[in-house]
Amino acid sequence: MQYQNTLEFAQQLDEQDPLKVFRSKFLLPQHGGKDAIYLCGNSLGLQPVAAKDYVNKQLANWQQLGVEGWFEGDDRWLSYHQKLTPVLSATVGANEKEVSVMNSLTVNLHLLLVSFYKPSTKRYKILMEGGAFPSDQYALESQVRFHGFEPKDAIIEIFPRSGEDTLRTEDILDAIKNNADELALVLFSGINYYTGQFFDMEAITKVAHDVGVIAGFDLAHAAGNVPLKLHEWNVDFACWCSYKYMNSGPGGISGIFVHEEHFKADHKRFAGWWGYRKDKQFLMAPGFDAEPGADGWQVSTPPIMLMALHKASLDIFDEAGGMKVLRAKSEVLTGYLEFLLNEINLEKGKELFKIITPKELHKRGGQLSVVCAGDAKGIFNYLTKKGVIGDWREPNVIRLSPVPLYNSFADVFNAGQLLTASVENI
């Protein structure tokens, strides 16, 4: 597409946008009496207008039915989580039985590591990307220590080459092969939170399997952002949060994926009553007998209100046509933002804004991570004062994430105008 740096061009794209009606289904923060330019879906998605109704419906069920709400009504709480799995499984490219909604992200990561990190005296190491989000780093450190190993020895981190901002796929694959005899697990993000790099999950999984190693992924920044094919790619396990691109509220409920190939295996797990087989759950018998599928990894009674918030957003995903449709707009939105940033650099005759997110569409999602020359924090503060809500990362990176469900091309154009003004006013 031949982009143009004019408001008229952006408005024309908005007029042609088949997803334009979905902006009205979300509540945008206000700034100076008008909608803020919200480019922070990578950190917290916006509230669906319908979220309040979804929660109020469950509050009414609680009021009218009390404990019988678990067994009566259209939304029987006992099976409420199953109402979410059809859309969620399609969003992450899985069979319905391979997906479950439960807990929060890092809790789920720990529960899955109990089953899939199985170190021996020889093969005990975990390979991960360097600079992963701290929660993953802390989780893995504690897991290897729990098994009697030291993180400095048991965790192998892969960093970009000198002078480069992102990892090369061939370097990741080589690291797996070169450490194959000692690896027990490969655990990567789907998308790196800092750079926005979308890793080649299929290739990583294949090479891990070729050398007999389990491959798992943290999809916090990938789920609801990019098309995923977890089942087809033969990913062993994955987990994600729902409050970023899936707009399910701060600290919203998480989800897991376990490939069906693992359903018959006798995995170790930290069990709880909610993961017990449903046809005998109320017999209260001793000895854990897992529900078949990913639901067998459930532990605790589900928080229905959080699930209601999640369903409010997932129903919008379904109405919009799913990830293929969302991805098509996302690529153009992000491409337009990239164009505008490059236009500023050309106009000023120097690289004021360096995009460290990969240029290739298949290597990135809806986020651009921008290194700012000069007073980076001053630029970020200027944008904030002018009603652009982005995300700051030390020491000098601004993350901007236009989301196809609620961001317009005019949003992106106006953000570009304010970025230009920031350079002139800081």
DSSP labels for 28-86? --EETTEE-EE-BTTT-PPEETTHHHHHHHHHHHHHHHGGGGGTSSTT-GGGGGGGTHH
Q: Which two tokens stand for residue 213?
A: 């190693």
Q: What is the DSSP letter of 276?
A: B
The pLDDT of 190-197, averaged and rounded, is 98
426 has pLDDT over 80: no
121 has pLDDT over 80: yes
Give the per-residue pLDDT at 400.
98
Distance CA 329, CA 274 (A): 39
Question: Which residues make beta-bridge pairs with 222?
Answer: none
3-state secondary structure of 126: strand
Give the per-residue pLDDT at 115.
97
Q: Give the class (CATH, top level) of 7-35+322-425.
A: alpha beta
Rounded percentage of the chain residues whose pLDDT exceeds 70 = 100
3-state secondary structure of 232: coil
Q: What is the CA radius of gyration of the chain?
A: 22
Distance CA 200, CA 190 (A): 8
pLDDT band, very low/low/confident/very high, at 139 (cuts 50, 70, 90): very high
Give the per-residue pLDDT at 317.
98
The pLDDT of 221-232, averaged and rounded, is 98
Distance CA 191, CA 172 (A): 14
| Among the listed residues 123, 188, 117, 115, the one whose alpha carbon sits nearest the alpha carbon of residue 158 | 188
Exposure on the CB side of residue 421, measured as CA atoms within 13 A: 13
Which helix H or strand E contains 108, and what residues bound it? helix 105-116
The pLDDT tens digits of the residues spanning 353-404 come to 999 999 999 999 999 999 998 899 999 999 999 999 999 999 999 999 999 9
Per the listing, tokens 């990969």 go with 358
Please determine whether the domains at 7-35+322-425 and 54-320 fall in the same fold group of CATH. Answer: no
Give the per-residue pLDDT at 177.
98
pTM of the predicted model, to two decimals?
Answer: 0.96
Please, what is the end-to-end C-alpha distance for the chain in angstroms?
32
pLDDT band, very low/low/confident/very high, at 424 (cuts 50, 70, 90): confident
Neighbours of 142 (CB within 10 A): 12
Annotated domain spans of the chain: 7-35+322-425, 54-320
304 has pLDDT over 80: yes
133 has pLDDT over 80: yes
pLDDT band, very low/low/confident/very high, at 232 (cuts 50, 70, 90): very high
Cis geometry, peptide bond prior to residue 395 (ω within 30 degrees of 0): yes
Give the per-residue pLDDT at 131.
92
The pLDDT of 158-187, averaged and rounded, is 98
pLDDT band, very low/low/confident/very high, at 265 (cuts 50, 70, 90): confident
Rounded percentage of the chain residues whose pLDDT exceeds 90 = 97
The pLDDT tens digits of the residues spanning 20-75 come to 999 999 999 999 999 999 999 999 999 999 999 999 999 999 999 999 999 999 99
192 has pLDDT over 80: yes
Residue type, 13: L
Give the per-residue pLDDT at 231.
98
Which helix H or strand E contains 62, and what residues bound it? helix 51-65
pLDDT band, very low/low/confident/very high, at 266 (cuts 50, 70, 90): confident
Per the listing, tokens 């693992």 go with 262
Strands (DSSP E) along 232-291, which ranges? 237-240, 255-258
Q: Give the class (CATH, top level) of 54-320.
A: alpha beta
**Mean model confidence pLDDT for the chain:** 97
Residue type, 255: G
Phi then psi dihedrals of residue 389, to 5 deg: -100, 105
425 has pLDDT over 90: no
Give the per-residue pLDDT at 327.
98
